Amino acid sequence: MLRLLAWILALALVALPVVAVVNGWVGGAQFPLRTLRVQGELQRVDAARLRATVLPHARRGFFAVQPERIQAAVAALPWVERVEVRKHWPDVLELRISEHRPFARWGGGRLLSEQGRLFPARGIAVPRGLPLLDGPDARVADVVALYNQARERLANAGGVRGVALDRRGSWSMTLHGGTEVVLGRNDPDARLQRFAPLLPRLAAQHPGQRLARADLRYTNGFSLTWVDLPKAPENALLLPQPVAALSRSGSSSMEGTS
Is 6 inside a domain boundary? no
Identify whether 107 is part of a domain. Answer: no
Are residues 91 and 137 located together in one domain of the fold?
Answer: no
Residue 217 belongs to what domain range?
A: 131-255
Same domain, 88 and 139: no
Query: 66 and 141 share a domain?
Result: no
Does 198 have pLDDT greater than 80? yes
Give the domain-ending residue among 57, 75, 99: 99
245 dihedral zone (left: phi>0; alpha: psi -120 to 50; beta): beta
pTM over 0.75: no
Q: How confident is the model at residue 18 (pLDDT cuts 50, 70, 90)?
A: very low
**pLDDT, position 137:** 96
Residues 140 and 71 in one domain: no
Q: Are residues 95 and 175 in the same domain?
A: no
**DSSP character for 202?**
H
Percent of the chain with pLDDT over 90: 66
- 239 vs 50, which has greater pLDDT? 50
Q: What is the mean pLDDT of residues 129-148?
A: 97
Based on the structure, what is the number of domains in the chain?
A: 2
Question: Which pLDDT does position 108 carry in this prediction?
Answer: 87
Q: Residue 71: its pLDDT value, please?
A: 97
Residue 72 or residue 254, greater confidence: 72
Give the pLDDT confidence score for residue 241 in this predicted structure.
53
Phi, psi (rounded to 5 degrees) for 97: -120, 135
- Shared domain for 250 and 135, answered yes or no, is yes
* Residue 251: predicted pLDDT: 43
Residue 109 lies in a domain: no
Kindly report the CATH number assigned to the domain that includes residue 231: 3.40.50.11690
What are the Cα distances from residue 88, in Å, to 2, 16, 27, 33, 52? Answer: 43, 24, 17, 9, 20
Query: What's the pLDDT tens digit per position in 42-94?
Result: 999 999 999 999 999 999 899 999 999 999 999 999 999 999 999 999 999 99
| 84 lies in the same domain as 165 | no
Question: pLDDT grade, residue 23 (50/70/90)?
Answer: very low
Q: Is residue 113 assigned to a domain? A: no
Strand order in the sheet with 35-39: 35-39, 92-99, 80-88
Among residues 83, 99, 115, the one where a domain terminates is: 99
